[in-house]
Amino acid sequence: MHSLAIRKYTNVQHFTPCVHSLNFCDLCSCLHRRFAINIGHDADNIALHFNPRFDSGSDVNTIVCNSKSGGSWGEEQREGHFPFARGEESKFYINFTMDQFYIKLPDGRMMDFPNRLGDVKYDYFEVKGDAVFHGVKIK
């Protein structure tokens, strides 16, 4: 499992609503089980935990979203629609406002998740798991 964490940006502006978007391009390897993207303030305060799971315990082809506040996880939101495929490149996009995260999945379908922390900026970004990311574009 790989992990990339970018904490407390120094030369990049904070994420802000309406101007914020993250574009991801990843390659799902044949051994791919799951990966996660965390956006928030720090490891204990995560506004969005986006976690596509190919085969992880009892979860098969499921997207799990959650948030963490003060070190405690909130209620999970599960999406059964799973447009990721092992061995294929996927592009997906994440945008947010003070109220919601909007995720455009690889097949163009949209899903949303409440911005439970409700903040206007986040400076913690972490990518974990089995995916190989070819690029992350932050606007």
pLDDT in tens, 41-65: 999 999 999 999 988 888 889 999 9
Give the CATH number, domain containing residue 54. 2.60.120.200
Global confidence as pTM: 0.81
Q: How far apart are CA 33 and CA 1, in angstroms?
A: 9
Domain enclosing residue 52, as ranges: 2-138
- Rounded Cα gap, residues 87 and 10, in angstroms: 35
pLDDT digits (tens, 9 = 90+) for 104-125: 999 999 999 999 999 988 889 8
- How many domains does the chain divide into? 1
